[in-house]
A and B are shown apart, each in its own frame.
Chain A
Amino acid sequence: MNAAACYFVRAMADENTEIAHGLRRRDPELLDRLIEEYQHRLLRYLMYLTGRRDLAEDFFQETWVRVLERGSQYDGRHEFSTWLFTIARNLVIDHLRRKRPASFDSLADPDGLAPFDIAATAQPSAFDTTVQREQNEQISAGMQHIAAEYRETLVLRFQEGMSLEEIANVTGAPLGTVKSRIYRGLSALQPWLKGARL
């Protein structure tokens, strides 16, 4: 590892340790900062997981309350985002388990989650061109049609930039399954890309 990479890794580790100490103290300033820092990433993940903005916003708040309550369980040895996303995911899974206890395989069952409705929730900026918007809608439509477990893995990999191991930690799936989900998810989205290019 070169010096710059070493420095980067050490800085990240220091930051995680600092977060762990702050969470143990239930430091309100730190929590405010974390909520702001992770607002878009967490909401995006929850929206892809639940398929609905209102539900995602409820889980967003619940997740941070849970972070406060369970803060002492974060050891600072792993990335904070991995721990945060695991908490969010467990909350969603618990909710689904309560909702449909008989047929719990929610993330493997596309019907287990609400229809994915990203187009209605996206907030295009003033700079968005029509083409970009259409492409986004196409790929969003594709996301709506692929299995929830592929959707989740693609978001974690390509939007959150997580490593394969981090994704395995968050989803609780074996590494091989994570790899196969990325490959299959990406392949399943490609037909929608053709629509986006028209």
Chain B
Amino acid sequence: MISLPWFIILPSIIGAILAGFACSTMGAFVVRMNLASIGVAMSHAAFAGAAFGVMMGFDPTITAIIFSFGTALVIGPLAEKARLQSNIIIGFIFSIMIALAFIFLNYAPGEAAKGSALNILWGNILYIDFNDSLLLLFLSFFVMIFIFVFYKELISLLFNRKLAEASGINTKIFYFSILFLTGFAVALSLKLVGGLLVFALIINPTSTAYQFFYDYKKILIFSPLIGIISCLIGFYLSLMVDFPIGASIVIVTTIFFAIAIYVSPKRYKGN
């Protein structure tokens, strides 16, 4: 057990709750809209971006956002029209981003930078600072308002894009909004969960919620709830037994998912 003063722990706990909320809420869209492969590509681009920031001495959060947005801009339109198959997106973007990230990290100057490099890889509870938490708070608010204001459009789009389009919704705007919000959530949660695992926080809680509900409203409520709980338990485990925080959170989400599959009334295979 590591004991830390509350004023260090508290911002981290808040950061963990917000990261769980933002990532797992976006997960509810990513899973249903088959954006998993583009999401994986974006989260690894964010990872490469953060590594780039560390190498250049910029704020890694900013460069992570830029990289993941860039990826969304480039492959978003291709994936949208199904001109690019998802296994190609994964195979190509994923590997090139990981390669870039390791090259950038290798050139990170000085010991302090090497330290941040490791944090970006594995995540670190204490690496989340006040600014990151504030950004996560803004993002979480924004996501909540987005869902509240556009609820009817989003439900329509989540059910089926073509039907939504046929009833007069401009689905393109929503598709890209969802991509960018996901990119934001990933980039801001990177320091906590780590670049290699952050995507699990998007997919796993929603896949867990999927096992239980036939009503998407409930999935939209329970997915972030499961995400938040996973982050808190992961956080606690990490303090108790000194696990790396990212790994610890992801293991918790995976255990939830495994239990859900086992007890699920639906036995849904997930995504």
A binds B: no
